[in-house]
Chain A
Amino acid sequence: MPGFVTGLLLGWETPAAILLGGVCWVSSSGIIAKVLHDLERLGNRETPTILNLVVIEDLAMAVYLPIAGALVTGEGLGKTVLTVGIALAAAGTILAMALRFGGHLSALLSPGSDEALLLAVFGLTLLVGGLAQQLDVSAAIGAFVVGLALSGPVQHRVGAVIGPLRDLFAAVFFLFFSFQIRPGDLAGVLAPAAALAVVVLATKAFTGWKAAEWAGIGPRGRKRAGATLMARGESRS
């Protein structure tokens, strides 16, 4: 809502304001994952609440992105509804398959060497993430359900062997993130961006606080949840 209102106040056309609303809405799953890991908060009580919010936001993107795209291109209602339906069905199917066949997948991967396990999980993550992206579902959701499907000793082995890759990709993610920003474009929009940032940082802190409160987490955990969710990615990172 803050982004949408800001867009209208700036005199933009409605589709542009709706897109700015989306930019302000979604937290960055990449930055949040890195913050939770670096601050050693993966085992904290508020962390499942944070991850739930991030996953729900990514799933909601399956509805938002086709609608926003249709508004920009002037696409018909029927085609937009079809695209949204396909995206939601794909997300539901991927989640259901992860829950139904997760045990079989873990058993299948279990006997292999660490190298075979690393390559299998990495390849599967790229495959499922890529398929999800093709169907207008976040690639992060695809990667998430691959992790969800793994359980038992295999889960611990994967955590150990994939750690260095995770660190490498996190570094590459932030490098490419910086490449997308042209410093020369920022000067003219710094004031409205700073004002909008104050509002969206506060709203996201409140969202995290309330979600953690509903989960029965204490004041310190609520503050951590709110602050962790503040970073926006402007993409399905």
Chain B
Amino acid sequence: MIASLGVSLADGADLGALAAALVLITAVVGPVAARFVDRPATAR
């Protein structure tokens, strides 16, 4: 949505690609981090 605002800009294509990659990375890392951040440390 935000990146699509810049589609008419000279850097619009780069912006779209970078935004997509960033969103993909955070959309994967975020939920995984949320799942495991609260895991109690295992006893040795």
Co-assembled chains A and B? yes
Contact between chains at B38 and A220 (CB < 8 Å):
yes
Against B, the Cβ 8 Å flags (1 = close, 0 = not) of A182-216 are 10011011101110110011000100000000000
> How far apart are the CA atoms of A68 and B3 in the complex, in Å?
10
Q: Among A19, A20, A188, A232, which residue has the most Cβ atoms of chain B within 10 A?
A: A19
Contact between chains at A16 and B21 (CB < 8 Å):
no
A105 within 8 A of B: no
A15 within 8 A of B: yes
- The residues of A that contact B24 with a CB separation of less than 8 Å are 181, 186
B9 within 8 A of A: yes
A80 within 8 A of B: no
Classify chain A's interface size. 35 or more
- The residues of A that contact B22 with a CB separation of less than 8 Å are 23-24, 193, 196-197, 200, 232, 234
Q: Please pick, from B9, B21, B25, B33, the residue contacting A227 in the complex, using a CB distance under 8 A.
A: B33
The distance from the CB of A213 to the nearest CB of chain B, in whole angstroms, is: 15
Contact between chains at B26 and A231 (CB < 8 Å):
yes
Contact between chains at B29 and A197 (CB < 8 Å):
yes
The distance from the CB of B12 to the nearest CB of chain A, in whole angstroms, is: 7
Counted as pairs of residues, one from A and one from B, with CB atoms less than 8 Å apart, the total is 140
> How far apart are the CA atoms of A68 and B43 in the complex, in Å?
51
> How far apart are the CA atoms of A55 and B4 in the complex, in Å?
22
- The residues of B that contact A158 with a CB separation of less than 8 Å are none
Closest 7 CB pairs between A and B?
A231-B30, A193-B21, A230-B30, A235-B1, A16-B11, A185-B17, A227-B33
27 A-B pairs with C-beta separation under 8 A:
A7-B11, A7-B15, A12-B11, A16-B15, A20-B3, A23-B19, A31-B30, A35-B31, A72-B8, A72-B9, A182-B20, A186-B17, A186-B21, A189-B17, A189-B21, A194-B21, A194-B25, A197-B22, A197-B26, A201-B29, A227-B37, A229-B30, A232-B23, A233-B23, A234-B1, A234-B3, A236-B1
Chain A interface (Cβ < 8 Å from any Cβ of B): 7, 10, 12-13, 15-16, 19-20, 22-24, 26, 28, 31, 34-35, 39, 65, 68-69, 72-73, 177, 180-182, 185-186, 188-190, 192-194, 196-197, 200-201, 205, 220, 223-224, 226-236
